[in-house]
Amino acid sequence: MADKVKLFVNGQEVEVEAGKNLIDAIGAIGIEIPHLCYHPALGADGNCRMCLVGIEDGRPPLVPACKTRVAEGMKVQLDAEKIKKIQRDIMELELINHPIDCPICDQAGECKLQDYYMRYDGKPSRMTVKPVLKAKHMDFGCGVVHDQERCVLCARCVRFTRMITKTGELGIVNRTDYARVNIFPGRPLNNRYALNVVDLCPVGAMTSRDFRFKQRAWFLTNSPSICHGCSKGCNIFIDHNREKYKDDVIYRFRPRLNEKVNGYFICDQGRMTYKLENDNRLTTPRVGDRDAGFDEAVESVRRAVSQAQKTVVLVSPNASLEQMFAVQQFATAINAPLSGYSDGYIKQGDGDDFLIRDDKSANRASFALLGIDATKAGFAAAVGGADLLLSFDNDLSRSLSEAELGQLLATVKLVMVTSSQTECVAKAAVAVPVASYSEDSGSIVNGEGRLQRYEVAVVKNQPACDLLRIVHLLGGEVTNNQEARVGLQAAVAVLKNIDLEQVPAEGIALTESEVAHVAA
């Protein structure tokens, strides 16, 4: 447990964590010190001056909270009239040259200037002279659009490209109130994390071309979840909304803080995987050439399984731990070999030393926990002599060449239970739509052995059936996630002492050796 320090805030004694700056320490006990340029991942810059607080008997008596460490007995003044006046004055100076773009600015509703104006200012404008004008809607590359007039020159974006991605595409040029953010001519943003500056920017100076003008922030429901773009398992917010007469649709992913996984950021590619949840979905079941009802399609699969000489069950590395357990139980029950073959989901060499992993699936580590073979040899052996391949959301066209797939499907009938219209779906004899992860809940284990939980975010007008339930309809015993978890805790050694019903927000680290041990 961290050391504690006792100090005073507005005359009240409080206990805060030692070693932190005043913004973080006092923020942790629920008292806000307004700030624009400080960010925990980027450190303190001290340029916005919004976090100035009084220190009674202090030398100096007025300090930026971002640059001031807590000290025993420190007397912090936040509510004193002189500090309140400073906050109003700084806000006034932030706003005199700030364009009143709110009606057309994406940031409205999640804008620090709006929030701080309401909380700390509220005064009418005294600007009777012309404001400073700069460039607007500039294309910075990587889908980032910059507005120099809205910019408060907090330098968060510059510090991000210098300290985090170390690509340095952004800088603040000129001096005095001619200062503005810009890219060097011919060297736009060009890194795989560029869109994080949109989240970092406290105002609407950095917007995402993809999200621009699409939805107002206050209509969005922010559902916590986990990105399934790769095995890093970055924590995200799924921001979605159901407009009147329309369906519940995802408008964007944003990073969610998890100090143990992704910190404050996500990669651009992962950020854009929200489109996979919205677009190109398999929504209508198909039997043969014609569209069918759900019950009819499920019945068709049941019949195919009972009539097949040898069924092979293929499970996806994106399935949740609970789904994998249910599928495994089902495969055993129908005496079918089970494979997780999905080599095509791994892009060798694509990962980096930050958040991107070679393995573009979210839960491959659970194969090892459950002893599910995913080798190509194992798959080849499994499909040898098989006449039915039942794939639960595993897109074989990613792992087999067109020729190989064609050869396989010449002798094996394919049933796809999946959420999206992949190549495989077109080649399948029966296609059954299933809920995607954003519409479902479950546990996944990332490539570093951390178990995390995600809950239902999106609820479609016509919700698709979830995968575990479809397995049950086909004859599997496991009826829901809770049952699966009970079964998992009994069956998997490393999960025995974990309460899968109470997974903390930061996840649970299953030790690497234990995961490997089970796999071996």
Q: Which stretches of the chain bind another protein, using CB under 8 A? A: 44, 46-50, 52, 62, 64, 67, 86, 89-90, 92-94, 96-97, 126-130, 132, 134, 152-153, 158, 162, 167-180, 182-187
**284 three-state secondary structure:** coil
Question: CB 247 → another protein: shortest distance, Å?
Answer: 43
Question: CB 130 → another protein: shortest distance, Å?
Answer: 7
Question: CB 6 → another protein: shortest distance, Å?
Answer: 23
44 contacts: CB under 8 Å, gap ≥ 6: 21, 37, 38, 64, 66, 67
Strands 206-208 and 144-146: antiparallel
| CA–CA distance, 97 with 101 (Å, rounded to integer) | 12
In total, the chain counts a number of residues equal to 520
Question: CB 353 → another protein: shortest distance, Å?
Answer: 20
Which residue number, 192 or 212, has a Cβ lying nearer to another protein?
Answer: 192
Distances (CA, A) of 221 to 127, 239, 252, 254, 489: 37, 5, 11, 12, 33
| CA–CA distance, 470 with 473 (Å, rounded to integer) | 5
Question: CB 7 → another protein: shortest distance, Å?
Answer: 18
Q: How far apart are the first and last CA of the chain?
A: 36
Q: What is the CA radius of gyration of the chain?
A: 27
Which residue number, 152 or 308, has a Cβ lying nearer to another protein?
Answer: 152
User: Which residues are bridge partners to 449 per DSSP?
Assistant: none
Which of 200, 267, 275, 264 is closest to 240 using CA atoms?
275
Question: CB 67 → another protein: shortest distance, Å?
Answer: 5
Which residue number, 12 or 176, has a Cβ lying nearer to another protein?
Answer: 176
Structure tokens at 173: 């040029």
| CA–CA distance, 453 with 185 (Å, rounded to integer) | 44
Which residue number, 96 or 272, has a Cβ lying nearer to another protein?
Answer: 96
Which residue number, 128 or 335, has a Cβ lying nearer to another protein?
Answer: 128
| CA–CA distance, 204 with 197 (Å, rounded to integer) | 11
| CA–CA distance, 418 with 405 (Å, rounded to integer) | 17
**Phi, psi at residue 332, to the nearest 5°?**
-60, -40
Question: CB 66 → another protein: shortest distance, Å?
Answer: 9
Q: Residue 23 corresponds to which amino acid?
A: I
Which residue number, 151 or 369, has a Cβ lying nearer to another protein?
Answer: 151
Which of 304, 305, 312 is closest to 382 using CA atoms?
312
Distances (CA, A) of 35 to 23, 31, 39, 47, 141: 8, 12, 9, 10, 28
| CA–CA distance, 295 with 432 (Å, rounded to integer) | 10
Which residue number, 173 or 519, has a Cβ lying nearer to another protein?
Answer: 173
Q: Residue 84 corresponds to which amino acid?
A: K
Question: CB 499 → another protein: shortest distance, Å?
Answer: 47
**173 three-state secondary structure:** strand
Which residue number, 59 or 246, has a Cβ lying nearer to another protein?
Answer: 59
Question: CB 183 → another protein: shortest distance, Å?
Answer: 7
Which residue number, 62 or 518, has a Cβ lying nearer to another protein?
Answer: 62
Q: Residue 503: count other Cβ atoms within 10 Å of its Cβ.
A: 16
Structure tokens at 430: 């029966």
Greatest extent of the chain over all pairs of C-alpha atoms, in Å: 86
Question: CB 19 → another protein: shortest distance, Å?
Answer: 16
Which residue number, 90 or 327, has a Cβ lying nearer to another protein?
Answer: 90
Question: CB 212 → another protein: shortest distance, Å?
Answer: 24
Which residue number, 119 or 517, has a Cβ lying nearer to another protein?
Answer: 119
Question: CB 128 → another protein: shortest distance, Å?
Answer: 7
Which residue number, 60 or 349, has a Cβ lying nearer to another protein?
Answer: 60
